[in-house]
Amino acid sequence: MGQVFLEIERCDLNIKNNNSSHHTDLNGEERLIVRRGEPFNIILHLKPGSKEFKLDESSFTFIVETGPLPRKESDTQVSFNLCNSTVDTEWSASAINNPSENTLCVYINSSPNSPIGVYSLSLDQEGQKTHLGQFTLLFNAWCPRDAVYMHNERKRKEYVLSQHGQIYKGTYKRIKGTPWNFGQFESGILDICLKILDENPKFVSDADKDCSARRNPIYVTRVLSAMINSNDDRGVLVGEWYDFSGGVHPGAWIGSGDILHKWAESGPVRYGQCWVFAALACTVSRALGIPCRVVTNFRSAHDTDANLVIENLYNDNAEKISSDSIWNFHVWVDSWMTRPDLGPEYDGWQTSDPTPQEPSDGVFCCGPASLRAIKEGELTKKYDTPFIFAEVNADVVDMLHLSNGEVIRFSGSTKSVGCFISTKAVGSDERHDITHQYKYPEGSKEERQVYEKAQHHNKLQQRGEEPGLHLKIKLADNMILGSDFEVYTVLTNNHMEVRTCNFLFFANAVSYSGKRGESCGFASDKVEVLPGEERRLSLKLKYDSYGSVITSDRLIQLSAFAFDKQTIDYSKTEKTIVLDEPDIDIKLMGDATVNQPVTANLTLLNPLPEQLQDCSFTIEGVGLTDGKPITVKTGAVGPKEEAKASVEFSPSSSGSTVLLVNFDSNKLSNIKSFVNVVVKEGETN
């Protein structure tokens, strides 16, 4: 009996139903987007008069291909026959015939280890090929055989499907959540994310090898860590911490979509800092199907010489002369996946950092490093575990370089690095503290054992606490941007003898990365301190002094020094303060309804004793502003007066979402707020 050939009139990719069952319906219905390891179905409409399909009388093969050079050896080209049922461990297909409608419903299951990307689907009937269509294949957190499988549904919704989040900034004593639109399902974003992979130098040099490696979320995450910054390639974002001319200030961004579209149109975008790099990495990871969260580490160490110690070296004028630093906060991402290269005990959250700090294998990237390896001090486990371990668990040593060349250690801490490590809680906008996932409690036996293991031959000889000079910094209750306020430091002599001390108190503008800027206050005294006595030195911080030198981070670093040169007795303490910023009042005028205009009234009180110029409000929201920010300029606003704007937008989809608002001006910028919005379905005729 001869073989029966299918005469296909057209192929229906059944996009709406497939996308819905594969949790990709938020991408829209323009294209088929499925997750690997899970079946999808297509409907083959046969030409009128076609012979009835029977499996045992038909011989045809499906072919799926991805990448510019599909090869069977690379698993970028796979052929598979029609069987009685699909198999969930490999590419397979089965079919159900519907003679009454002259259709054949084909169920296709992809391998849970397939490379992600855009695929073509063809049917081969003994050499006669028919192109059936294209589909995009993503990682699958819902598939137990996928390397990114996450068993908890609430976490899958948060770390794969949620399009908005909170990024934590400030200081560890004044933590502030900043809203962000990830927007991974916005129009065009998935194509841009795949374009990022194709711009990767590894793809350019060996496309076949790179496309094959895209089966592995470890590989993809490391590529993204390099490609989100533009240091070694045509990556997405240019990092800048000082001069923002010729670009957008990093604090002005409120979502990933605008940045990604700009990059796709014209290359690297100016400018970003750590939270922007991390937010972009989260957007791209979630778009590709890798569960991802944004993480903030307060008091984050940058260990330049890889000895796991932050060495603060000062001269005898109290000026810092070393390169190690501690950032007030630093932001990166954790991605969820298995680690077959390390062993099952290292599965789970993996840290990667797209902010360009130090090169790794000659490229500015970092991670992914297992949280388990970081917590246990397993610094031989790839990738870049020692650097991340130091960020959360380095010891700090303060040393003085005397004029005679001698270097003495005068203080140190084993507890000041890696505080209040934070991420957005699952299912709410609350902060979730995950410090315990990165490290044992500071000072605990386990934490010290881990640190000593990590140190290997670089162990420090810790010495016990001794009597000496002790300093504390006390703050005012209200430290509002635009106001004058007073801070003071207290010196206590814990010696049994009198000390005659030079007493210095500095205030400097400082960036979140710990880079000290210009002075905004200084006080000094020479004091004789009796045993057990306290002496106080106050410092008035005036807006006239700090207003022109602080950055948009609104941070001021206070540093107090006391030293008795006769006895070579030194003490130092530091505290970084973040000034309170004004709130944006957001009022929606009426209900938000699909395809109906709605107005947001925005108000902000200028807290400064001077006029604000070039004031503007910008709004953005998933399903609210068509994937693009809307900016309204409001001109000048006098001191203690209100900036007001009314912004109209038309929601494009129903459901719960978030409207983000940013205020900008010449003297007061990057003030952010948000409001939750529930969009109703429009009336149907």
Confidence of residue 1 (pLDDT cuts 50, 70, 90): very low
Residues 550 and 602 in one domain: no
Q: Is 447 annotated as a binding residue?
A: yes
464: in domain: no
CATH no. for residue 410? 3.90.260.10
The span from the CA of 540 to the CA of 556, in Å, is 13
The whole-number average pLDDT for the span 28-40 is: 96
Residues 535 and 549 in one domain: yes
Exactly one of 193, 274, 419, 520 is catalytic; which is it? 274
Point out the least confidently predicted range of 233-242, 269-278, 398-407: 398-407
Encode pLDDT of 632-678 as tens digits.
Answer: 999 999 999 999 999 999 999 999 999 999 999 999 999 999 999 99
Residues 476 and 612 in one domain: no
Q: Is the pLDDT of residue 538 over 90?
A: yes
Residue 543 belongs to what domain range? 469-578
Regarding predicted confidence, which is higher, 72 or 306? 72
Q: Is the pLDDT of residue 463 over 60?
A: no
Q: Is 14 annotated as a binding residue?
A: no
Confidence of residue 588 (pLDDT cuts 50, 70, 90): very high
Active-site annotation holds for 274: yes
Task: State how many domains the chain has.
Answer: 4
Q: What is the pLDDT of residue 459?
A: 38
Domain C-terminal end among 578, 613, 639: 578
Q: Is the pLDDT of residue 74 over 50?
A: yes
- 587 DSSP assignment: E
DSSP string computed for 650-664? ---S-EEEEEEEEEE
Q: What is the pLDDT of residue 2?
A: 52
- CA dihedral (50, 51, 54, 55) in degrees, to 10, reads -50
Encode pLDDT of 188-228 as tens digits.
Answer: 999 999 999 999 999 999 999 999 999 999 999 999 999 99
The pTM is what?
0.88
146: in domain: no
Residues 99 and 171 in one domain: no
Residues 430 and 512 in one domain: no
Q: What is the pLDDT of residue 460?
A: 30
Point out the least confidently predicted range of 72-76, 252-256, 625-629: 625-629
463: in domain: no
Active-site annotation holds for 232: no
Confidence of residue 319 (pLDDT cuts 50, 70, 90): confident
Residues 310 and 393 in one domain: yes
Encode pLDDT of 323-382 as tens digits.
Answer: 677 889 999 999 999 999 999 999 999 999 999 888 888 888 999 999 999 999 998 899
Domain C-terminal end among 529, 549, 578: 578
Residues 290 and 252 in one domain: yes
Q: What is the pLDDT of residue 457?
A: 31
The span from the CA of 564 to the CA of 574, in Å, is 19
Exactly one of 258, 324, 353, 384 is catalytic; which is it? 353
Residue 578's nearest CA partner among 478, 670, 429, 431 is: 478
Domain C-terminal end among 429, 454, 479: 454
Residues 223 and 86 in one domain: no
Q: Assess contact for 518 and 509: CB atoms under 8 A.
A: yes
Residues 409 and 475 in one domain: no
CATH no. for residue 596? 2.60.40.10
Active-site annotation holds for 330: yes
Residues 534 and 652 in one domain: no
Exactly one of 330, 398, 419, 553 is catalytic; which is it? 330
Residues 635 and 593 in one domain: yes
Encode pLDDT of 84-105 as tens digits.
Answer: 888 989 999 999 988 888 899 9
Residues 287 and 229 in one domain: yes
170: in domain: yes
Confidence of residue 63 (pLDDT cuts 50, 70, 90): very high
95: in domain: yes
154: in domain: no
Regarding predicted confidence, which is higher, 296 or 446? 296
- CA dihedral (250, 252, 256, 262) in degrees, to 10, reads -80
Q: Could you tell me where the DSSP H helices lie in 536-631?
A: 543-546
Encode pLDDT of 479-488 as tens digits.
Answer: 999 999 999 9
What share of the chain in percent tops pLDDT 90?
71
Q: What is the pLDDT of residue 645?
A: 97
